[in-house]
Chain A
Amino acid sequence: GAVVSQHPSWVICKSGTSVKIECRSLDFQATTMFWYRQFPKQSLMLMATSNEGSKATYEQGVEKDKFLINHASLTLSTLTVTSAHPEDSSFYICSASMKATNTEAFFGQGTRLTVV
């Protein structure tokens, strides 16, 4: 079945540095991908919609200059957490559906970000 892969699975970075997370659709094209953040014991919160070839659409309250999204191809979207702070520590998850149909959404395995 279709697979969405995230890299890295986990990352530890120093406060003030930037971290890039990749989300790839491995065997299908995705014009739209979604980025979520999840804090411990909480549900997934949608951060933004990543659109291939155009600007991402951010949910209310999500800083677009803080969370940079690039969707340069039909199989790759990246989320860059800029000037990370400890409060950005979270589980980041991406998802995508196949381009032509909406059967199900496929989710990456998630990236655990720890900012120290």
Chain B
Amino acid sequence: DAKTTQPNSMESNEEEPVHLPCNHSTISGTDYIHWYRQLPSQGPEYVIHGLTSNVNNRMASLAIAEDRKSSTLILHRATLRDAAVYYCILRLYSSASKIIFGSGTRLSIRP
């Protein structure tokens, strides 16, 4: 399974943008980049995913480097409810493909 590397923790101020980086230098051509987040005592929640192009949805934006060896999850305006552990994961295009979690980034939001 291709690995991802993320900072252990990050802090941001409420109502400011947050950029969460992820390195995945060993990514293969068939790996999709997924982001999930986990709030305390809950199961993970899907945030966004992409293959090559940048992606936007109601929760966040995903910026993917041209060589695909890194990506950045962008929360445009952080709220206190965005405080969570964010996981960057590589996954093949298959519902049977495993999701292997790394250590993730613990995001704290300052009021």
Number of chain B residues whose Cβ lies closer than 8 Å to a Cβ of chain A: 27
B residues near A (Cβ < 8 Å) are: 32, 34, 36, 38, 41-46, 49, 85, 87, 91-104
Determine whether the beta carbon of A44 is less than 8 Å from that of B44: yes
Number of interface residues of A (CB under 8 A): 32
B91 touches A102 (CB 8 A): yes
Q: Which of A11-19, A26-34, A61-69, A80-88 contacts B (4 or more CB under 8 A)?
A: A26-34
Interface of B is mostly: loop
Q: From residue B4, how far is it (CB to closest CB) to chain A in Å? A: 12
Closest chain B residue to A43 by CB distance? B101
B residues in contact with A77, CB < 8 Å: none
At the interface, is chain A mostly helix, strand, loop or mixed?
Answer: strand
Query: In angstroms, how far is the closest chain A Cβ from the Cβ of B46?
Result: 4
Q: Does A103 contact B (CB under 8 A)?
A: yes
What is the CA–CA distance of A97 and B96 in the complex, to the nearest angstrom? 8
Q: Can you sample 28 A-B contacts with CB below 8 Å? A: A6-B43, A31-B96, A32-B95, A32-B96, A34-B98, A36-B101, A43-B87, A43-B103, A43-B104, A45-B101, A46-B98, A46-B100, A49-B96, A93-B43, A93-B44, A97-B95, A102-B92, A102-B95, A102-B97, A105-B36, A105-B46, A107-B36, A107-B44, A108-B43, A109-B42, A109-B43, A110-B42, A110-B43
